[in-house]
Structures are given as C-alpha cells and as structure tokens.
Amino acid sequence: MTILTLVARLPLVTTELDALLRQVARRDVDAFATFYDRTRARVFGMVTRVLRDPGYSEETTQEVYLQVWRTAASYDPSAGSPLAWLLTLAHRRAVDRVRSEQAAGQRESRYGAANVDLPSDQVADSVILRDERRQVADCLDSLTDAQRECIQLAYYDGLTYVQVSERLSANLATIKSRMRDAIRGLRRCLGVA
C-alpha cells in the first residue's frame, strides 16, 4: 500500500464529509448518523488515547458529536478539511478533560499506566483505516525518538510545551523546533498538502 493511495483518497473523504456537514447544519439526523459512522473510530480512538479511561472517553466523544450537531454550520471549508476541524475540536475537549482531572488531583491514580498500547481486538476493523493505520505507523517510525516523544507528551498526554520542556529538561526553543520538525517529517512522509 503506497502513500499515493492514501493521498488520493483524502479529497474524496473530504468531499463526502463536507457534504454531510452541510446536511447536518440543516438538522438532517440521517446525515449526522452517517457522519458519525464515517469518523467515530478516529475520534473515539484519539480521545481514548488521550484520556485512557473508557468512561471519560465515551462522555467526551458524546460531547464532541453534540458539538458537531450544534455547530456544523460554523465549519468553514476554506479553513481546512472537515476531518481536521472535527479532530481539532475533539482533541481540544480531550485535553481540557485531562487537564481538569489533573487539576483535581486524580491523574496520578487514573493515569498511572501511561503509554499503554491498545488491545488489538479494539482496533477499528475497517480495511481502509487498517491501511492508513499502517502507513501512519510507518511515518511515526520514521521520526527520531526525540521527535516522537515530543508528539506523545504534547498531543497524547496533554502536556503544554512548557511542561514538555520541563519533563525533558530541554529548553523551550529546542522543544518548539522539535515539535515543528516532527510535524514536518510526518507531513512530508504522509504527503499531506
């Protein structure tokens, strides 16, 4: 499976999701259900990876899609793809939840086992997603360990870049450029426009 297949498929996904979002903005429940089905595994998986708690993850995923239902009209195609819009708002909610749990002092017990890999039978069973998953995993592997660690701490563990720099005892400029280089590497490897 080459990168070209992935890149060629994305515009199709975007067109379909874009059309569905327009219908959702007009309160089309069927379109909403289809939009959910097309994107649920990506959203729930990312949220679960950040929150590491099935109950919190379900709650947060539900909030994310209710937000989609209520604010689909605010999606602006000129600002990015529907998938990027969706995952941005999902990630923001997940990170907010992690930080509020952390502030409440519950993180240590609930999140003690960091970096747990997901059991493979939970992984989304869609063939397309499986292909993409492999490609993305290859691209993640192409990063340096330091870059991958930065993405893990910032994106999946919900740390701020200042906290990442403290955790890794590296200065802020180094962390910022490491994050930027990690994204550039992924972007190039995945062929994201």
Q: Report the distance separating Cα 192 and Cα 73, nearest Å.
A: 25
Dig out the tokens for 92 from the structure: 């923001």
One DSSP character per residue, 150-169 reads: HHIIIIIS---HHHHHHHHT
Q: Report the distance separating Cα 167 and Cα 29, nearest Å.
A: 45
Question: Is 126 or 144 the residue whose CB approaches another protein more closely?
Answer: 126
AA letter at 133: R
Q: What part of residues 62-81 is at the interface with another protein (CB under 8 A)?
A: 62, 65-66, 69-70, 73-74, 76, 79-81
Q: Is 9 in the site for another protein (CB under 8 A)?
A: no
CB of 73 to another protein, least distance (A): 5
Sign of the torsion formed by the C-alpha atoms of 145, 147, 152 and 158? positive
Q: Is 143 in the site for another protein (CB under 8 A)?
A: no
Q: What part of residues 80-119 is at the interface with another protein (CB under 8 A)?
A: 80-81, 83-88, 91-92, 95, 118
Q: What part of residues 20-49 is at the interface with another protein (CB under 8 A)?
A: 25-27, 29, 32-33, 36-37, 40-46, 48-49
Tokens 């660690």 correspond to what residue?
A: 149
Distance of CA 66 to the CA centre of its chain: 17
Residue of the chain from 18, 19, 38, 140 that contacts another protein (CB under 8 A): 140
Q: Is 160 in the site for another protein (CB under 8 A)?
A: yes
